[in-house]
Amino acid sequence: MKKLFWIALGATAGVLIVRKINQTAHAYSPEGLAGGMSNIADAIRDFADAVRESMHERETELRVALGVDTGTMTQEQAQALLENPTDPGRPGTDVRD
């Protein structure tokens, strides 16, 4: 009975080792490397899409905050604010206003 146990244990270990070797060999094959690079490219593409979406949301927030989209500020006033945000002559910069 002991011999049968050790034979079964050896066979199981052999199968597991062979499977692991095959998985490792496939990971370093041209197909495996291409799959890994594809995953990296997808991750970079997803990250770039998330950054673009966040930039668009922030630009919308800033345009509303500056009043550009609501009509409370002209395009020239918005450009002047971007060029010199601490201009003391600009309306709304004085605390007493």
Of residues 90, 95, 96, the one with CA closest to residue 66: 90
pTM metric for this prediction: 0.46
Reported confidence tier of residue 96, pLDDT bands at 50, 70, 90: very low
Asked if residue 80 lies in contact with residue 74, where contact means CB atoms within 8 angstroms, the answer is no
pLDDT at 92: 52
Angle ∠(74,79,84) on CA atoms, nearest 5: 125
CA 12 and chain centroid, separation: 42
Give the tens place of pLDDT for each residue, 19-62. Answer: 999 988 888 888 888 888 888 999 999 999 999 999 999 988 88
Which of 14-28, 51-65, 68-82 has the lowest average pLDDT?
68-82
Q: What distance, in Å, lies between the first and last C-alpha atoms of the chain?
A: 95
d(CA 56, CA 37): 29
